[in-house]
Chains A and B, each alone.
Chain A
Amino acid sequence: MQSFEENLKKSLDNKAASLDAATLSRLHRARVKALETSPPWWKQPAVYAPVLGSAAAVAAYLLLSTYYLDSNLIQTTVSSDPVEAMEIISLDVDLELVEELDFYDWLAQQEDQEKDA
């Protein structure tokens, strides 16, 4: 004996199987149209979304890290010792001396060593 659910399923299956030719033809046309409009996989945005998302994330990371490093560099150059920075700015000396301060410092040390010797 079939269950109530089986009877219902069977009747609905029969109804679906006995659709008229005109309806089946329209369903077929709808299917063909849907397949025609379905883009190939390489044209679907879903394919590129992960790649583009990752690329955007990497680009944003690089941009932010570069900006962060630059701002840190500027901060350390300018504000690590503000008194020294103000001295350098206010000194009436040749700019080349300021830029090559390490070299002149080393030169002075060499001269001192020669004197000591």
Chain B
Amino acid sequence: MQSLAEGHPEAMDLLYDRYHRPVFSFALRMMGDRDQAEELLQEVYLRAWRRASRFTDARGSLISWLLSITHNMAIDEIRKQQRRPQKQQAEDQTELMISLRADGISMDTHAILTERRELVRKAMDQLPQPQREVLELAYFNGLTQREISELLDTPLGTIKTRMRLALRKMQESVELQSLEAT
């Protein structure tokens, strides 16, 4: 990251090679449009360069930091455009799974990404559909509780409860799985 902060293009290329797939996939899930997702990815990497000197792994992994930047910027963009992303694109729904063993990504990174995906999918699978729906609308579509309440024509209190329960269950499930893994 020091090298990136100093503006070395090789550092930027390396960061891209390692993490462009999860960043792009997440950006696409949020924006619902390939062109916007590619634009967002570029903005994310440029912001990461500008803030590289502030990154510290004590506050989380590099990929989590990048994804957090992606989320913040996507929410800003969604709100700025005052529109919501389209439903998941066809290619997302057809499970276009790319082999992470392809070029440019190390086995370590592959293992971490796979492990985390398994962890979170298992946790999400355990959520009742209404709770999962609220969680996805909030996190991936950037809707506030009030907006979700209007969209689903459901009382705000119910949405709050569903969101609270969904996150608590996710948290418990993740903690439990992490404990079992150790």
A and B found bound together: no
- Residues of A bordering B, CB below 8 Å: none
